Amino acid sequence: MDPSLRSPSFLLPYCFFFFFLLFTVATTTATEGAPADRLNVDTVPYAHGFRHLFGDSNCAPFVDGRGVSLLLDRFTGAGFISSDMYQHGFYSAKIKLPSDYTAGVVVAFYTSNGDVFEKTHDELDIEFLGNIRGKKWRFQTNVYGNGSTYRGREERYTLWFDPTEDFHRYSILWTPDNIIFYVDDVPIREMKKTEAMGGEYPSKPMSLYATIWDASDWATSGGRYKVNYKYAPFTAQFKDLSLEGCPVDPAILRSSTADLASACSAAATSLQSKAYSAVTARGRAAMRRFRQRYMYYYYCYDSIRYPVPPVECAIDPFERSRYHDTGRLKFGSTHRRRPRRSTAAPAYYESADNGADAQ
Question: Which of 266, 258, 335, 265 has the alpha carbon at shortest distance from 296?
Answer: 335
Q: How far is residue 304's CA from residue 297's CA, in Å, rounded to a whole number?
A: 13
Residues 6+ apart with CB under 8 A from 104: 130, 214, 215, 216, 219, 220, 223, 225, 226, 227, 228
Cβ–Cβ under 8 Å, residues 127 and 107 = yes
> Is 123 assigned a catalytic role?
yes
Cβ–Cβ under 8 Å, residues 249 and 147 = no
Q: Which of 32, 118, 123, 244 is catalytic?
A: 123
Cβ–Cβ under 8 Å, residues 142 and 154 = yes
Cβ–Cβ under 8 Å, residues 204 and 86 = no
Residue 267 has a CB neighbour count (10 Å cut-off) of 18
Q: How far is residue 254's CA from residue 91's CA, in Å, rounded to a whole number?
A: 22
Q: Which of 32, 118, 127, 195 is catalytic?
A: 127
Sequence-distant contacts of 264-267: CB under 8 A, at least 24 apart: 264/87, 264/88, 267/87, 267/88
Residue 13 has a CB neighbour count (10 Å cut-off) of 9
Cβ–Cβ under 8 Å, residues 258 and 280 = no
> Is 200 assigned a catalytic role?
no
Could you please report the per-residue DSSP string of 191-236?
A: EE--GGGGGGS--S-BEEEEEEEE-TTTTTGGGTS---GGGPPEEE
Question: Which of 41, 93, 89 has the alpha carbon at shortest distance from 355?
Answer: 41
Residue 9 has a CB neighbour count (10 Å cut-off) of 7
Q: Cis check for the bond before 61: say yes or no (omega within 30 of 0).
A: no
Helix (H) or strand (E) holding 241: strand 234-248
Catalytic site positions: 123, 127
